[in-house]
Amino acid sequence: MLLTEEKIDRYKITDISINGIDYSDYPDFCDAYIEEATYNGIPLNEDQLDELNEDRDFVYDKVMNFLF
């Protein structure tokens, strides 16, 4: 399953683990990425995580939620 916009409900992505946060890069956090996550209770594989991390707006939102 690839995570295309028409196939995925972003609200079902849970248990998100963020890594790569560099506080000296505030406020961009461009090195941060989602290391682990589940979709509808099923862990995402590496390919799915790679695709999810391409959505930088989504990642940034999750980083902000994690930090604040």
C-alpha 67: how far from its chain's center? 14
What residue spans define the domains of the chain? 10-67
- At 12-66, the pLDDT tens digits run 999 999 999 999 999 999 999 999 999 999 999 999 999 999 999 999 999 999 9
Q: Give residue 59's identity as a one-letter amino acid code.
A: V
pLDDT band at 6 (very low <50, low <70, confident <90, very high): low
> Which H helix or E strand runs over 26?
none
Q: Which residues pair with 39 in a beta bridge?
A: 13, 42
Q: How far apart are CA 25 and CA 13, in angstroms?
A: 26
pTM above 0.75, yes or no: yes
